[in-house]
């Protein structure tokens, strides 16, 4: 009886040690792999936080409980591993096995690095991250990170600077001119800046009617008058300049002013140049202003087409054309027109020949004046009457018929 109990105890101990050894052998250093693409980086001059991605891959067919170990942390730094949405810090986490056809990470985490309140001196700082089994007996993988902390930038004279990539634009007065300015904040603190602008002509006078608006580059439908810029950061602002349509040709200076709304730093200015070049504008009418014409089928009728350039620049090589009913012919005294200065007009004799078989009634003809920079059109109503030759022909036929009838009457009366 005692021998039986002893054998039972020995069997139980053997099974227990066997299970323990099997469990220990089941854990292997290659079961979980760590992947972190960025291992070394340089922070911004005034940047105090950075985030890195840590991906874990379970190479087995079973889940693994892993422990996250950070070591050799720089003094005063706040470094922790978070879930990918930054909801909570991670000390241990279950890593599920990947599907056979899935090459993505089994678990994605975020490594957040926060500098101390008192910024450390410039230099390279490193720390380590290890992924182990919960008891630390198996180390799956590890990584070493290096963070470069640069010297803070030297303060500028004004604390704010404005740069422009394309400071000069040209076009006609009908254009809207769009510039982009970059506001750099080096005041040492997050700052809100007021945006204003003024326009000066070549004589130093301020012309009226100009419109200058500001919009953030990320939301161009908004019009702003101030913008907040983080310390040691910059913001891009779109500047839209709209001159009056009757603006004379020449150069105009648009002076953009960026000023700290708290008055803590000197304002910065960005000069923008708008060059207005002349552009012709066409207007088409008749010399009398009437848009109707009487004509006879098969006979020419003429009118004077008046072409006016009311723009700010000369026009050269204006082509004239017409859209008329089939069988009609429209000709111009001169086409193309070699030159038409601004604020000038010219009358062109236009001849219209309706088709000989045109039915009496009203017809529309579209007259066109075309130039690469501008064009104009005019609709002319042509009222067509029957040709007079048919009236005379009808009279001749009536007389002929009467004569024939009279002759027959005389001949038959004698009999």
What is each CA distance from 183 to 129, 135, 195, 230, in whole angstroms?
39, 54, 11, 10
pLDDT at 1: 47
The bridge status of strand 49-58 relative to strand 107-114 is antiparallel
> What's this model's pTM, rounded to 2 decimal places?
0.50
What is each CA distance from 230 to 114, 185, 234, in whole angstroms?
18, 7, 7
Q: Is 49 in contact with 112 (CB distance < 8 Å)?
A: yes
Task: Indicate the SS3 state at residue 405.
Answer: helix
pLDDT at 409: 73
Q: Is 282 in contact with 375 (CB distance < 8 Å)?
A: yes
Q: Is 33 in contact with 82 (CB distance < 8 Å)?
A: no
pLDDT at 393: 66
pLDDT at 19: 41
pLDDT at 22: 41
Q: What digits encode the pLDDT tens for the residues 312-337?
A: 788 999 999 999 999 999 999 988 99
pLDDT at 234: 87
Domains of the chain: 32-149 (2.60.40.2310), 160-276 (2.60.40.10), 282-389 (2.60.40.10)
Q: Which residue has the tokens 């230099």?
A: 123
pLDDT at 220: 64
Ranges of residues in the chain with a pLDDT under 70 are 1-26, 153-158, 219-220, 387-394, 413-415
- For 49, residues 6+ apart whose C-beta sits below 8 A from its C-beta are 112, 113, 114, 115
pLDDT at 65: 95
Length of the chain: 415
Q: Is 257 in contact with 196 (CB distance < 8 Å)?
A: yes
Q: Is 120 in contact with 149 (CB distance < 8 Å)?
A: yes
């Amino acid at each position: 009886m005692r021998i039986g109990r002893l054998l039972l105890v020995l069997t139980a101990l053997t099974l227990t040690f066997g299970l323990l050894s099997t469990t220990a052998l089941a854990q292997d250093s290659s079961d979980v792999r760590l992947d972190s693409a960025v291992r070394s980086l340089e922070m911004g001059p005034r940047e105090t936080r950075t985030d890195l991605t840590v991906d874990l891959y379970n190479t087995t067919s079973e889940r693994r409980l892993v422990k996250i170990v950070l070591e050799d942390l720089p003094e005063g730094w706040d470094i922790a591993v978070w879930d990918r949405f930054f909801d909570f810090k991670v000390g241990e986490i279950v890593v599920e096995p990947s599907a056979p056809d899935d090459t993505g990470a089994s678990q994605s985490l975020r490594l957040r690095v926060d500098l101390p309140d008192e910024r450390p001196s410039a230099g390279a700082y490193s720390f380590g991250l290890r992924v182990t089994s919960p008891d630390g007996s198996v180390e799956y993988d590890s990584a070493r990170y290096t963070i470069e902390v640069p010297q803070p930038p030297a303060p500028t004279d004004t604390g704010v600077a404005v740069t422009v990539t394309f400071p000069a634009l040209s076009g006609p007065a009908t254009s809207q001119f769009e510039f982009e300015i970059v506001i750099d904040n080096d005041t040492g603190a997050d700052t809100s800046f007021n945006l204003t602008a003024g326009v000066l002509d070549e004589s130093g006078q301020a012309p009226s009617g100009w419109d200058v608006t500001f919009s953030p580059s990320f939301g161009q439908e908004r019009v702003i008058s101030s913008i907040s810029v983080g310390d040691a950061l910059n913001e891009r602002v779109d500047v839209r300049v709209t001159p009056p349509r009757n603006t004379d040709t020449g150069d105009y200076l648009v002076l953009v002013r960026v000023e700290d709304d708290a008055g803590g730093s000197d304002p910065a200015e960005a000069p923008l140049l708008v060059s207005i070049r002349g552009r012709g504008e066409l207007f088409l009418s008749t010399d009398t202003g009437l848009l109707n014409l009487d004509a006879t089928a098969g006979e020419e009728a003429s009118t004077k087409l008046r072409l006016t350039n009311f723009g700010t620049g000369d026009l050269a090589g204006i082509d004239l054309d017409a859209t008329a009913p089939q069988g009609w012919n429209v000709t111009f005294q001169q086409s193309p027109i070699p030159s038409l200065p601004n604020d000038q007009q010219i009358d062109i004799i236009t001849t219209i020949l309706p088709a000989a078989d045109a039915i009496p009634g009203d017809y529309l003809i579209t007259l066109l004046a075309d130039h690469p920079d501008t064009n104009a059109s005019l609709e002319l109503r042509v009222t067509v009457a029957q040709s007079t030759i048919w009236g005379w022909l009808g009279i001749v036929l009536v007389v002929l018929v009467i004569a024939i009838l009279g002759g027959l009457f005389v001949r038959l009366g004698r009999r």
